Structure 1
């Protein structure tokens, strides 16, 4: 008699295994922001909630709060899923920037976030930094906000800084253009951001910072690996940073599209003898690209002292020497050296030939309405002193004017035309790069109008007749629905 195989024993063993409740495996979210929020939520829930097995998913994504004994009076919270948690962020170690809509992603997330008290919100952001972004060196977190077009007018602002922009009055409140591009809506939520100030103190430090203020502030930087590893620095509480304009930066560097006027053939000379004036230099968004490309010097202007300090720090990080000079309300340089001292310092660096002494950037803190006056005075000083027995290699040769103010830099067009015609070597002219916010349906029409207006300005030059022509239109990025940030490259050269 053949004994049957004991299959039933093996089958019975398997059925016992299958009969056991399947253990849920918690999956750690890949997104570090979600990971940090989820870690906080799990801890928070352990203090006052339970997981409802009936509604929890395999990845532990849905949590149902349940009050502990004695907490029945607390407001009920809706179930929160991983899908409800914010996922977008921008990383500039040690800074983590959360988007403006971080607290309003959806109804359930907003209800949960709003129900947290101050201590729990602090724990939430600590969990995001230390658990979500563990090992990434995050020590500060802020909720970002768009740069306001207008800011409330303070009595001392107009006296402190000259600017060319309208001031309007509504009821009892006066508003002015946010010409400083001050990030007034940014909300720090985690980490040491320096001394806590009231609004008036904060405004004072924006306008009149001391060296101690610069040292006490939190600074961060970004290294743009796709743009030759250029380093840019800024203080998030005091000045804006835009990671956009990528195509325009790449264009200047010769990495994509066409940027006119940076080749030997177009310049009829060496790029290393060409100067650039940047009327709205900021922290060096475009100036750093010109310098990396190999121009001799950039002369940059800005009215925000924090932007100028960021430019100086960025230049230092990139190995470029930067001189910072303050311009007063009469268009004179502050300090004992004045124009003469600055020109002599630049000339000494040029004669030395040493990279650490050659001045690559001259940063003017003041209104750019004085740009033409100061640059003309510099040219006169170069001509007066001469170098090495009459050599004038350091003379200005400004072939490019960058006009990067949005929505328009129209008020600087005339000075830009006069500078590239009057301060280019031999009066050869140069290129204006006009940034403008444009109705997408009218890019060609507006481009023609810009060229026509600049041509009219060029023809008024007394030294010799000049003509302007449109060379290229770069569509940089969408600024708003139906509005495109464009750069119009306009060449100005002798006519005949």
Structure 2
């Protein structure tokens, strides 16, 4: 039979009150899922297991849908579907053309509707007797069909409920063994005593309602499937799967249904990134999909909190492969990050996710780098920056490029001629290069250590470095492809590469949080001394301390200009302060646009 859904029929004068109430208890998640009942007249012709439903907007004599019940004129009624459907699964389906009044349902204390606290406008018996519950096929609604489609969350909840129901019933019916000498058996029996169908509502209710979804990759919140009793249930599934020799593929089916519901091949659970980790390495637990080199770290049940064990490439690859990891990037890795620098072979052995935001493609290795979805507003601001700070044909320096959050935007949308991108995490560097290829941007990447002196020897230093070019072929699509500027990538510590772009830039992006202050001096040194430009300073600021930070920033920059430009007369003006996102309670991530102009530029513009 074609599935049906529960629908409430209410008089027009009660529709608003009922809508607000159903939205509040999350039983009616699609606000436009409403239709005048006179437009829903159903005629059903059964043929075996097939049923045909038709719309009938006329109140003719051929309609099999009675428009009156218990003295109530249903031509003045509105119909609204109750979603998710499983919320009312325990209420008996009245069947075709049958309706039960809300008042009648509330007389049954076991009804899920009886346990709700109804608002005063809907608690009067006369009002409740005028509201009816019926069951209809989705095609009976004149509203667009997508409004009745299951959301990913609803699909996930239903799939999990259908999958777990037979297991919970089976575990609850298992009889304890008579041999009390086997402690392990007794422990298993005690655990099974706790597993029953009564746990299903609690399990479904604890499923995370939000997640991060990209092309074929979904990142679940830290608590996903870790809230009790999930660990016990998942552990029991794994043990039963192993006991059966995986012949029934219990865990394989479990992973498949999660993938289908979330429309992702690769699913992982994230954890909070340690503040002390200078590389900002993500902590995630792979759950489904082929993670290639890191399949050994897949687990649904956490045994410990060591979620960074995969970061040690040496331990992951083994002794022979670890000896091959001899890359100069290891010498430029800052701080206390004890990792063996990866090789090109390592990059090919990892899973790479990708996503497209505002027509810009990004690629990253989730096991080693994170994707910050929260800075999309700042990326859009840079893309539409021409009226504010025109970067067309200009030179840009991104001192903390990451996988290219802003470097790629400056090339694709802002029209920059050259973007010098510094990044010390080798996995982020590789993501930046893959993103450049995906966006059809030509690039040049330097290798080897740099001395970093800004003087007459800069050209000689540049000649001594080894670099590789990435020329991207642009296939013809019937129109001339768009030409972008060039991306120049400097792996390692940005201070070691300053001699390659000092006194050249018109825009400097300082995108390190919680503070990019270590890079302020590099930003000042990179600015073109004749034209000046903009410093785009990222910083986390506590509520109420905005003006204090702006004063401190300008004071610090004046000192840096006097020291490195040998000119204290530079004009520094904060043109804009953008609130990007919340970082912590009472702390926000800001970007401060500081326009920096030398006095000679201002004098010539006035004259």
Shift in Å at residue 288 of structure 1?
1.2
Contact 1:36 / 1:129 at 8 angstroms: preserved in 2?
Answer: no
- Greater Cα radius of gyration, structure 1 or 2: 2
Q: Is 2:591 aligned against 1:487?
A: yes
- Residues 410-449 of structure 1: CA deviation (Å, up to 9, x unaligned): 1111121121044xxxx11111011001111111221121
Please give the TM-score of this superposition, normalised by the length of structure 2: 0.57
Structure 1 match to 2:35: none
Structure 2 match to 1:66: 172
Structure 2 match to 1:442: 545
Q: Is 2:295 aligned against 1:192?
A: no
Cα–Cα, structure 1 residues 250 and 216, in superposed 2: closer, same or farther, change >3 Å?
Answer: same
Structure 1 match to 2:163: 43
Cα–Cα, structure 1 residues 355 and 299, in superposed 2: closer, same or farther, change >3 Å?
Answer: farther
Structure 1 match to 2:182: none
- Residues 123-180 of structure 1: CA deviation (Å, up to 9, x unaligned): 43332013x14xx4x2211001232212xxxxxxxxxxxxxxxxxxxxxxxxxxx222
Local SS of the residue matching 1:66: helix
Rounded Cα–Cα distance in structure 2 between residues aligned with 1:325 and 1:356:
25
Local SS of the residue matching 1:398: coil
Local SS of the residue matching 1:244: helix
Rounded Cα–Cα distance in structure 1 between residues aligned with 2:565 and 2:537:
23
Rounded Cα–Cα distance in structure 1 between residues aligned with 2:465 and 2:485:
10
Structure 2 match to 1:236: 366
Cα–Cα, structure 1 residues 97 and 122, in superposed 2: closer, same or farther, change >3 Å?
Answer: farther
Contact 1:472 / 1:489 at 8 angstroms: preserved in 2?
Answer: yes
Structure 2 match to 1:8: none
Q: Mapping of 1:33-112 within 5 angstroms?
A: 33-36=153-156, 38-49=158-169, 66-69=172-175, 73=190, 74-77=192-195, 78-81=198-201, 82-104=204-226, 107=228, 109=230, 112=233
Structure 1 match to 2:351: 218
Local SS of the residue matching 2:559: helix
Rounded Cα–Cα distance in structure 1 between residues aligned with 2:590 and 2:406:
15
Local SS of the residue matching 2:363: strand
Local SS of the residue matching 1:49: helix
Shift in Å at residue 39 of structure 1?
2.3
Rounded Cα–Cα distance in structure 2 between residues aligned with 1:122 and 1:29:
26
Contact 1:34 / 1:87 at 8 angstroms: preserved in 2?
Answer: no
Contact 1:474 / 1:486 at 8 angstroms: preserved in 2?
Answer: yes
Q: Mapping of 1:389-468 within 5 angstroms?
A: 397-422=504-529, 427-462=530-565, 464=567, 465-468=569-572
Rounded Cα–Cα distance in structure 1 between residues aligned with 2:427 and 2:369:
6
Contact 1:181 / 1:239 at 8 angstroms: preserved in 2?
Answer: yes
- Residues 173-212 of structure 1: CA deviation (Å, up to 9, x unaligned): xxxxx222211x2100111111247654268776421111
C-alpha RMSD of matched pairs (Å):
3.5
Q: Which runs of 5+ in 2 are unaligned?
A: 1-91, 96-134, 139-147, 178-188, 242-249, 297-308, 317-321, 326-338, 454-459, 473-479
Rounded Cα–Cα distance in structure 1 between residues aligned with 2:496 and 2:467:
20
Q: Which runs of 5+ in 1 are unaligned?
A: 1-20, 51-64, 151-177, 264-270, 377-395
2:342 equivalent among 209, 214, 217: 209
Rounded Cα–Cα distance in structure 1 between residues aligned with 2:363 and 2:223:
25
Structure 1 match to 2:299: none
How many positions carry a matched residue from both structures?
A: 384
